[in-house]
Amino acid sequence: MAAVRVEEVLAAAEEREAERRRSVTVEKELELEFDLGNLLALDRNPPAAAAGLRGAGPRREALLRALARDNAQLLVARLWELPAERAGGAGGPVVARLPEPAFRLPREKPPPRPRPPTRWEQFARLKGIRRRKRTSLVWDEQAKEWRRRWGYRRAGGDPARAWLAEVPAGAHPEEDQFARLRREKRERVARNELNRLRNLARAHRAGPAAPLHPTGHQSREELGRAARVARLSTASLGRFQPRLPKEPPELPSRGGAGRKRRFEPLLGNLEAERSRQLELLRDMGSKKPALDITRAVNKQMRQEDAKAAAAKGKKQSQRGKRWRRQQRVGRSGKRSGARRQQQQQHRPAGSSSGDGKRKKA
């Protein structure tokens, strides 16, 4: 008896659950496609009551509203399944975390081009200098508190503090030191500004790289450039391409590029030939060496520096984030001072024994 009762109770509970679920379930032939990042639902089913929709009037509105209700129910059901959390602490509203929008929509503007590196950035890359993160607060000894590095009430920036300006050893005794400091600051600011503008000009000069496919709004120069590139993209690099009647003939190779590609006539310019021969004799007779040693050595050093920096960077990135963090902490930590002292103590002891060993051998 009891067993049958239990079964009945369970069946009744299931019935009730199904009843409840029925109010929120919707039957559809084809599943809807959802893009929850955009709150979007796409229903591919051909609208069922197409005939009813053709006739105008309240019947059509009712049909449209029923269709909309079903689709909206499915979309809301999906949204409710997303992971929900409470925004702004325990008492805040319940928010659902949306995924990234999946539907590809065209951009407003083309993606930004990377700007060319500034002179400092090039140098830093060459030498392998990395950016160190600076703390925003600095300890101010005089005020005995933590102050900003720059800005309102900065550490050491109060003009009333600099009440004394020493006359340096080699300066004129009657020169105004304060005026000198002010002038030097103005010069520094001006130089900084000049360099900034130069970097900006360099970035602008590198200019918008014109696309080589037709965009519908290209200028005459861009079209000319595209035509030139198209001409050069043949197997013979454009030497045998037919030209339009008024198009200029092939330009000679630009710059001094290709000393071997200069085909000048033999008996043309006597003056040029004479000057060339004299220059040749002059160079042969001069005592100056043809190879500039300093420049060559500098170039070699630059190349080696760049290679070393690249290798160091690669090794660092191979060793991973934790290793890098350890290196940084080890160098700037509180223990480094003590460690440096230890090293200094050990080194004299070690070096003397080392010297002793070397002398014996």
Partner 1 sequence: RPKTKRAKRFLEKREPKLKENTKTAMLIKGGNANLTVTEVLKDIYAVKKPFAVLYKKKNITRPFEDQTSLEFFSKKSDCSLFLFGSHNKKRPNNLIIGRMFDYHVLDMIELGIENFVSLKDVKNSKCPEGTKPMLIFAGDMFDVSEEYRRLKSLLIDFFRGPSVPSIRLAGLEYVLHFTAVGGKIYMRSYKVLLKKSGCKIPRIELEEMGPSLDLVMRRTHLASDDLYKLSLKEPKALKPKKKKNISHDVFGTTYGRIHMQKQDLGKLQTRKMKGLKKRPAEKSAEDGGVSPKKSKSA
Note the residues at the interface with partner 1 (CB under 8 A).
16-17, 19-21, 23-24, 37-47, 50, 53-54, 56, 61, 64-65, 67-69, 71-73, 75-77, 79-80, 84-85, 87, 93-98, 100-101, 103-112, 211, 213, 215-217
Q: How many CB atoms lie within 10 A of CB 147?
A: 19
Minimal distance, residue 57 CB to partner 1, in Å = 11
Nearest to 40 by CA among 72, 67, 84, 65: 72
Nearer to partner 1, 44 or 302 (CB): 44
What backbone torsions phi and psi does residue 9 show, to the nearest 5 degrees?
A: -60, -45
How big is the chain by its Cα radius of gyration, in Å?
39
Minimal distance, residue 208 CB to partner 1, in Å = 10
Nearer to partner 1, 67 or 126 (CB): 67
DSSP 260-315: GG----TTS-HHHHHHHHHHHHHHHH--S-SS-HHHHHHHHHHHHHHHHHHHHHHH
d(CA 199, CA 203): 6
d(CA 341, CA 346): 9
Minimal distance, residue 105 CB to partner 1, in Å = 5
Nearer to partner 1, 47 or 330 (CB): 47
Minimal distance, residue 47 CB to partner 1, in Å = 5
Contacts of 336 (CB under 8 A, 6+ apart): 330
Q: What tokens were used for 346? A: 């050990």
Contacts of 136 (CB under 8 A, 6+ apart): 148, 149
| Contact by Cβ (8 Å): 69, 62 | no
Nearer to partner 1, 111 or 248 (CB): 111
Minimal distance, residue 90 CB to partner 1, in Å = 16
Minimal distance, residue 20 CB to partner 1, in Å = 3
Nearer to partner 1, 57 or 248 (CB): 57
